[in-house]
Structure 1
Amino acid sequence: MEILQKLFYTDLGNTANNIAILIFRVLFAWELLTVHGLKKIQKGPQAEPEHIPNPLQLPEKLNAAVAQFADTIVPFFIALGLLGRLALLPTIGVTAVGYFVVHRHDSREVRDIPFMYTLCLFLLLLTGPGTYSLDYYIFQLLKAY
């Protein structure tokens, strides 16, 4: 039960903090999905999907799948606060590789975007999704049994 508590239960101390992290989660997830996720899956005659770098030399389909999952599916988990801490891991991996590998020789202005995304993701990893999340309600149900 203790491990479930660490994964699912997060109470940031008061209503204002829990509402603040809810707003942060939803806005962050929206930005991640609309700015980065949708570019990775654009389809149609006029649309050209974004090039996905592969600095770790993974198989191309695996690399694309991880990047697409991290930027298109994970935002829904973040916004809902569902498997909040676990769901962040693929996106932290993608943004950290972007910062430390893909853009390591670029200017600070270019490196700023993956750095800020990684920083925001670490904040969510440390705080958890708060009491206004599906994780919190799942934990309450599990605790009742």
Structure 2
Amino acid sequence: MEHLIPARQRPLLNDLGLLILRLWIGGAMLFAHGMPKLLSFSERAETFADPLGLSSPVSLTMAVGAEVGASILLMLGLGTRFVSVPLLFTMLMAAFVIHGDDPWQKKEFALMYAFPYITFILTGPGRFSLDHLIARKKGDFAT
């Protein structure tokens, strides 16, 4: 199948794929998980899961920071590798600690979010990102 796509088009398609994945996974996390936590922060603050023993409000603050703040930065492609780490950590905690005793189906959902974050840690954001724009201005990337 690879031979059907001209070699000169492959980098563009890879960068478009990373952009689409960043926008989808960042937007899904932001709107389906982060914003609901942020908007109900005061109601959840005392009962939110506290797997690290830091207190429920601190754990909720960390989750909101990742799911809202890091998701926005991920969508922009700003600090992509860096912001993928707290998102990955949050999903691994959800899968293996919060749902540690639950059946696979409960873990699977968090892991479906985790793997794109691993991908961004390994690949970076692609050409259509603020990271790329900043690196280009610094001369770290060829045009």
Q: State the TM-score, normalizing by the size of structure 1.
A: 0.81
Quote the Cα distance in structure 2 between the aligned partners of 1:48 and 1:111: 25
Instruction: Confirm or deny: 8 A CA contact 2:21 2:116 kept in the other structure.
Output: no
Q: State the TM-score, normalizing by the size of structure 2.
A: 0.83
Instruction: Confirm or deny: 8 A CA contact 1:42 1:48 kept in the other structure.
Output: no
Q: Which residue pairs with 2:26 in the alignment?
A: 29
Quote the Cα distance in structure 1 between the aligned partners of 2:111 and 2:79: 23
Pairing 1:127–2:123 present: yes
Which of 35, 39, 48 is residue 36 of structure 2 equivalent to? 39
Quote the Cα distance in structure 1 between the aligned partners of 2:133 and 2:35: 30
Query: Larger relative contact order (C-alpha < 8 A, sep ≥ 6)?
Result: 1
Q: Which residue pairs with 1:17 in the alignment?
A: 14
Give 1:128-143 correspondences, 5 Å limit: 128-143=124-139
Offset of 1:60 from its aligned partner? 3.1
Instruction: Confirm or deny: 8 A CA contact 2:95 2:106 kept in the other structure.
Output: no
Pairing 1:116–2:103 present: no
RMSD of aligned alpha carbons: 2.0
Which of 90, 95, 118 is residue 91 of structure 2 equivalent to? 95
For 1:94, give the aligned amino acid. T
Instruction: Confirm or deny: 8 A CA contact 2:49 2:56 kept in the other structure.
Output: no
Q: 1:135 to 1:28 in 2, by over 3 A?
A: same
